Each structure stands twice: as C-alpha cells, then as structure tokens.
Amino acid sequence: MKPANENNVFKELSRVWAYKWLVFLLIFSVIPILAPSKYQVHLANEVLIMSLFAVSFNLLFGYTGMLSFGQAAFYGIGAYSIGILMTKTNCSFSTAIIIGIVLSAIVALLLGFLCIRVKGVFFTMLSLAFGQLFWGVVSKWYQFTGGDNGIQGISLPDFFMSAYTYYYFSLIIIFISLYLCSRIVRSPFGCIIKCICKNPERTEFIGIRIKRYQLGIYIISASFTGLAGALFAGYERSIHPNLMLWTKSGEVILMSITGGFSSFFGPIFGAALILVIEDVIGARTQFWEICIGGVMLLVVLLFPNGIAGSGYPYLVKIWRKFGVRN
C-alpha cells in the first residue's frame, strides 16, 4: 500500500499531465482564429508536424538511448509515399497516408534487424549510413522519384485544399498520435524500454529480451515519423530529396535537446522554439544560424536538461509543497 501523501502526489501529477494536454489542444486550436494571416497558420502547421517528428524520434533517443541520425529516411518514406501515389496512381489521400506508415514500419523492421545488433556510436553510424543510402537512391532515381527535382504539384481532394481545413485535420491526427506515444511511454512496454536505457545488462539478466523491445520501439518510432512525413507532403504539396538528408535528422535532434529529451513535451517546445526563431530571425537577417547557436549555448548553460526537462522538476516540487495536503 502506498502512503496517502504519495497517492495524493500521483493524483496531482496526473492532473498536471491532463492540464498539459488541455493547454496543448487549446493553444493550437485557437491559432487559426487569432492568426493575422494565412502564413501564421502554415507556420503553426509546420510546428505541429515537426513536433510529431521530434516526439517520435525522442521515443528512441530520450527513452531508449538509441541516437539515430537516419530518422529522416522514414520521414522521407512517408512523404514520398504521398507524392508518388497521389501523382502516379488514383490512390486516395487517406489510403496513401496508411501506405506511407506501413512502408515506414516495414523498412524499419528490415533495417532494425541490422541496426540493433550494435550499440552506442556504432548504432548511430549505421543508421546514418542507411539514411544516406536512401537519400542517394531518391536523389538519383529520376524516373520514379524525380531525382533532385523532387515531386511538385501534389493534388489533394478539394476538402483538404483549404489551409485552415488541412490545419485542423493535421491537429486531430497529430493530437491522437502524440497521445498514443504518451500512452506507449507510460505503459509496461515503456517502462521496460526505460529500464533498457538505464541498465541493459541488468534488464537482460532478469530474462527480458532487450533486442526484441529495441526493435519494437524502432518500428513504432519509424511509423509515427512516416506519418509526420506524409502530413508534411500534403501540407507542402511538394517534396524533395533533402527530406531524407542527415541534416533533417540533426534538426530534430536539436529540437529534442533544446526542449528536453527527458520530458515527453520537451521536443514539442523545442520544435516550436527552433521554427519560430528560424522564421522571425530568418526574415530579418541571413545569419539566423548564429541565433540558433546562441540559443543552444544558453540552453546548455542554463537548462542542461532542456527547457521543459529542467522546468518540470521545479513544477513537481511546487505541487508537492503547495498542491498536496496531509
């Protein structure tokens, strides 16, 4: 039996978790209403999509300790599934999204058997090698993928042509996806992958096949990443090979570290911060990369666990001190 105070703490923390979801939904729901122009709606849509990409990547890095520099390959697979199916066949948009998710999961299953056999920096380098391999194939296969030119003019059903309609469609899909990711993290499966991250030897010693769980989270992460890529292709109406480049993977790594990879909502904070800085500073100067570097320097010095990761423990202390009554 847990002490009464401890039960109260868990109840209060559950409320905090519920409030976070409510605030997330409310903020992104009112953006199209308060936005002065359609451009801000497009920016918010990009923040949503990159948030899903960053959270799905953080399932590997933040909770399992597997740093992948090839995550952009699955992002590109989801995007190119939409581009190729919508321009070369009569496939519907919803079917193309499902196919993109399935293809991402299948490729992750095949690559995962090889990648999870190694650990640490070797896993990172192997994932980078596979990611660059996919980028090389896509950028040179002109007859099928369009090569360096990519695919333009992706035509969606009339219902999705409105920026506001597509925004709310993305919001619903991404909100459900993020909630599923959070349930995975807080499930018994999620507890095991956290144990694998902290102490794989001891976890394996008690009879858990850690490779099976690492492969499972690798496939889950790739599936949600493919969904993010598919939503991006529909939002942008065009795609290009750089979606699979290693720098795209580096971008979500930057978002996760800035927001806090130890917190579930950390990558969402990081995605919003980085994209807003790129938009605001990039419109005024060509040296926006210096601003990003300055932000990273401040985060490392002031928030070693990221913005959300460093702030959450203080919030817990406040709830323990003022929100829990004996």
Q: Are 48 and 32 in contact (CB under 8 A)?
A: no
Supply the pLDDT for residue 295. 74
Supply the pLDDT for residue 1. 45
Please give the average pLDDT of every successive group of 10 residues along the chain, which has 326 residues. Answer: 48 62 84 83 91 93 89 93 88 91 95 88 91 91 85 83 89 93 90 88 85 93 94 89 89 88 86 85 73 76 73 53 48
Structure tokens at 99: 């196919």
Supply the pLDDT for residue 9. 46
For the chain, the domains span: 36-244
First-to-final CA distance of the chain: 17
Helix (H) or strand (E) holding 138: helix 120-140
Angle, vertex CA 179, rays to CA 175 and CA 181, nearest 5 = 120
Query: Rounded to two decimals, what is the model's pTM?
Result: 0.87
Supply the pLDDT for residue 133. 92
How far CA 257 is from CA of 2, 124, 148, 264, in Å, comes to 34, 16, 31, 12
Supply the pLDDT for residue 263. 82
| Crossing angle between the packed helical segments 246-259 and 72-88, to the nearest 10 degrees | 120
| Crossing angle between the packed helical segments 38-64 and 266-282, to the nearest 10 degrees | 140
3-state secondary structure of 166: helix
Structure tokens at 242: 């750089």
